[in-house]
């Protein structure tokens, strides 16, 4: 079984244009992400999918592999699928290019799951958060069944804390592992009302009856959404 990590990276960002090349601790952010994925056990190759020659040149410059994609994709999933259609992979791990603190061990856990359980079509990650963090709509929450499969993802605090003492919350991390067929079928699935309401693409799989296995990991560091986040990540990398 061949497992390939693909990192979608685009130049255009409303809040942070050129984000993948933002310098963090002396190298572009996309280099940090590529290095973390390359260090993960069970991943056979790492490819950056981009539509921008500046990003492509930077990736080639530090020894990475690039898949050029169209510039008109509406989502990272569409960019990922275009790249995946042209590569040799049984499983594709989707890792966002703005997660320089991702742990190789967490990516390895996804790869190991997909190798060990052929029935799992899609898998992802989550970690525990407190009630205060759960109230933030930018932190996507997930509720799972006894097998670890997602029951629902939401920006709302789920479960509803009618009994605060027993409520537990888990934040979904935007890292996915897909069987190739499931990923390539994504764009053909009906877009449900819940996806539109929540602006969460993963709800499309659940609406189509495709389960998403979600592994719990230790809390991870923040991603980079704005220029201000760069300083925060640099301090974490420096152990401050």
* CATH 3.40.50.170 describes domain 3-237: no
Burial state string for 18-33 with b = 16 or more CB within 10 A and e = fewer than 16: ebbbbebeeebbbbbb
pLDDT digits (tens, 9 = 90+) for 53-105: 999 999 999 999 999 998 887 777 878 889 999 999 999 999 998 999 999 99
Instruction: Map tokens 């492509």 to a residue.
Output: 56
Q: What are the boundaries of each domain within the chain?
A: 3-237
The values of phi and psi at residue 125, to 5°, are: -130, 155
Flag whether the pTM goes above 0.75: yes
Digits of tens for pLDDT over the chain (240 positions)? 999 999 999 887 767 888 999 999 999 999 999 999 999 999 999 999 999 999 999 999 999 999 999 888 777 787 888 999 999 999 999 999 899 999 999 999 999 999 999 999 999 999 999 999 999 998 899 999 999 999 999 999 999 988 777 889 999 998 999 999 999 999 899 999 999 999 999 999 999 999 999 999 999 888 888 888 888 999 998 875
Rounded to whole angstroms, how far apart are CA atoms 75 and 97?
14
């Amino acid at each position: 079984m061949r497992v390939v990590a693909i990192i979608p990276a685009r130049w255009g960002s409303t809040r942070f244009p050129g984000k993948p090349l933002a310098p963090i601790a002396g190298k572009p952010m996309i280099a940090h992400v590529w290095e973390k994925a390359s260090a993960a056990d069970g991943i056979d190759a790492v490819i950056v999918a981009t539509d921008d020659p500046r990003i492509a040149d930077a990736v080639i410059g530090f020894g990475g592999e690039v898949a050029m994609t169209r510039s008109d994709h509406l989502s990272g999933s569409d960019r990922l699928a275009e790249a995946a259609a042209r590569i040799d992979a049984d499983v594709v791990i989707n890792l966002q290019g703005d997660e320089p603190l991702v742990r190789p061990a967490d990516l390895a856990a996804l790869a190991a799951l997909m190798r060990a359980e052929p029935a799992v079509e899609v898998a992802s990650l989550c970690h525990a958060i407190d009630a205060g963090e759960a109230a933030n709509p930018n932190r996507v929450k997930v509720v799972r069944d006894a097998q670890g499969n997602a029951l629902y993802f939401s920006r709302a605090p789920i479960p509803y804390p009618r009994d605060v003492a027993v409520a537990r919350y888990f934040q979904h991390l935007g890292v996915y592992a897909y069987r190739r067929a499931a990923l390539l079928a994504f764009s053909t699935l009906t877009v449900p009302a819940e996806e539109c309401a929540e602006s969460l693409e993963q709800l499309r799989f659940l609406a189509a009856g495709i389960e998403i296995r979600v592994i719990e990991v230790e809390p991870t560091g923040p991603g980079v959404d704005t220029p201000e986040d760069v300083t925060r990540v640099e301090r974490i990398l420096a152990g401050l």
